[in-house]
Structure formats: structure tokens, C-alpha cells
Amino acid sequence: MRKKISLKDIANEMGVSTAVVSYVLNNKYEGRISEAKANEIKNIAKKLNYFPNQIAKSLKKDRTFTIGLIIADISNLFYSSIARYIENESKKYNYNVIFGSADENADKFNELIQVMLGRQVDGIILAAPKGTETTLNYLKERQLPFVLIDRYFPQIMEINTVGVNNYQASYTVVQHIAANGYKKPAMVTLRTDLFHMQDRVSGFKDACRQLLGEQDSKVVEVKEDMLSEELEECLLNLLEEQNDLVYFSTNKIAMEGLAILVKRDVKVPNEMGIVCFDQADAYKIFNTSITFIKQPLQYIGSKSVEMLISSINGNRFAENVVLETQIVSGNSSASRKNS
């Protein structure tokens, strides 16, 4: 069996004490030894393939230096991007991340929570599906640090949350398209009870009423598990009803919708304007530049980690962070005033 390298082995190689090696490998050597000597010790540790004993380290400090991340749907580009930022930010605090995707399923979410608890994570960042309020309250009662991202549950008070102003995001969309001369927009969204999605719908409806005089604005809800089947019929109906623009409320709907418009050879924006919530690299292959709502993904990731680490370190004051979005204008919602 291959011998496990210890601090003593590195100390013997360098001719220093194990305490000095420990200071260096835990980045606590400043003022004790020179930068050059510290780099020598790090290089020896690397050459000898030294790996710290995380179990002993966690027992000593009563921490595992791992955090759990449960996202709502790994196939959603928003969450895959957020996961990358969270992992990068966690490394700055010397934390590892354990991932899980709930696939918008409450039962799977509950199972993942138990897995995280079994791994004794120090805290969890999560995007909870609908119907998980009981589990969130359970985590709160256990006083396990957690931060809710993207979603919120108004009935659960005093928990850490990071999200965007979904109402204002949709309102801004209508301001943009009204300024560009669109008169009859429609919104395509998911059939869901999630509050952040309802906020997007409310912002759209209120703006249509106040800015366009549309008392009964067109909002079409589609089932997520039947997205491709329902969306094509939906878009054809909107074209027939002469809606001049479609606002897709998620990038998952947008990707499916754009593919349908290409298949049907719908001219964008001449026959139908397009605005999408969230960005996606795949928009670049569409034959028209896409107007989209940009969320501050990197800041959401870094802020959620910062809040979680603060909570792990004993801060029990809940923080509610609501961030603003911005609209990035493309040709898909180009002005119709002169057309």
C-alpha cells in the first residue's frame, strides 16, 4: 500500500518543524517565515503528492468545509451558470461544493436535502421547487445555515435570500417594446405557482395596462413537461391573432420557441418581435440578435456564498437581497415606428 504523506515527511525534507509546514499549508505563515521559504515548502508538498486529511481537519474544527448546492433544474442554463460562479467563489473560502439537481421535483429535493445532511455539509445554497416549504422550515428549525436563490416563499420569514426584481424586469420589457412601437405583445410563461414567476407575469400585465392600454393582456401558460408540444401551437395561434411580439419568460421556453420560429420560417422582427428572459450563448446562432433580460449571475453566485459563509460563521441575521436586471437590446425587438 502506498504510504500517505504527512506534514512530518515534508518537514524532514525541508529541515524545518511540522509547525512551520502547517503554517504554510494553512496560509498562516505571514510574519513567521519568508515568501521564498513558503514557496519551497509548497513545492515540496506538491512534489510529494501531499493531501490534507480532511476528516481530521473537520473533526478538529467541527466543520467539513463543504457546502451543498441544490439547483432546481440542471438543464436550465441559468442554473448551470450560477453553479459555476458558486463553485468558483466557494474556493476562495477553501470550501468544496456538492451538487444536486432537484429537477423541479419536491420529493427529489427532499431526498437531496437528506443526502446533504448525511454528508454533514456546513450549509446549503438552494433553489427550492414548489411544495418544499415544510423542508425549508425543517432546515430553519435545525439552524442549518442556508441561502435561497432565485426563488422565494413569502410565508417563510427570516431566511437568507438572493434574487432579482422579477416584477420590474417584466415591466422594463414592456417599457422597451412600447418605446419601439409594439402594440400587441404576448407573454409565454410556465404554468406554475412559484412566486417569482408570478411576479414576472404581474409586471408584464401591469405595464401593458399602464403603458399600452391593454386591460386584458395576452399571457399564455404552458406545461414544462409538455413544452415542445404546447409551444408550437401557442406560437401559431399568436401569429394568427396578430400579436406583434412574444416575451418568453424563461430561457428554456425561449430556446424551444426560437427553434420553432426557425422551423416555421417566421421573420423576426417583421412578423413577430422577440424578447427573452435571461441570456444564453445559443442565442448567437439565431439569425437575428436577441433582446434579453440580463441577470447579474456572477453577483448572485458570489453574494449567496458570502451570505452562507457569514451564516456558518455565526451570523444569525437574515438578509433579503433583491437585485435589478437590465435589458440588452437586439434586433429581435427593433423599432416598428417607421415600418
In the prediction, which pLDDT does 57 show?
A: 52
Q: How confident is the model at residue 338 (pLDDT cuts 50, 70, 90)?
A: low
Residue 59 located in a structural domain: no
In the chain, the DSSP E strands lie at 66-71, 96-101, 123-126, 146-149, 160-164, 185-190, 218-222, 245-248, 273-277, 291-294, 320-323, 326-328
In whole angstroms, give the CA distance from residue 210 to residue 300.
Answer: 31
Give the CATH number, domain containing residue 151.
3.40.50.2300
pLDDT tens for 15-68 read 888 888 888 887 777 778 888 888 888 888 888 777 665 544 544 456 889 999
Q: Of the ranges 66-80, 171-185, 201-215, which one carries the lowest mean pLDDT score?
A: 66-80
pLDDT computed for residue 61 by the predictor: 54
Query: pLDDT tens digits for 144-163?
Result: 999 999 998 999 989 999 99
pLDDT band at 4 (very low <50, low <70, confident <90, very high): low
Predicted confidence (pLDDT) at residue 2 exceeds the cutoff of 80: no
Are 40 and 187 within one domain? no
**182 and 159 fall within a common domain:** no
Instruction: Classify residue 57: in a domain, yes or no.
Output: no
Domains: count for the chain = 3
Question: pTM to 2 decimals?
Answer: 0.80
* Domain interval for residue 271: 166-295+327-333
Which positions ≥6 away from 231 have C-beta within 8 Å? 188, 222, 253, 256, 257, 260
C-alpha angle 13/14/16, rounded to 5°? 120
Query: Is 2 domain-assigned?
Result: no
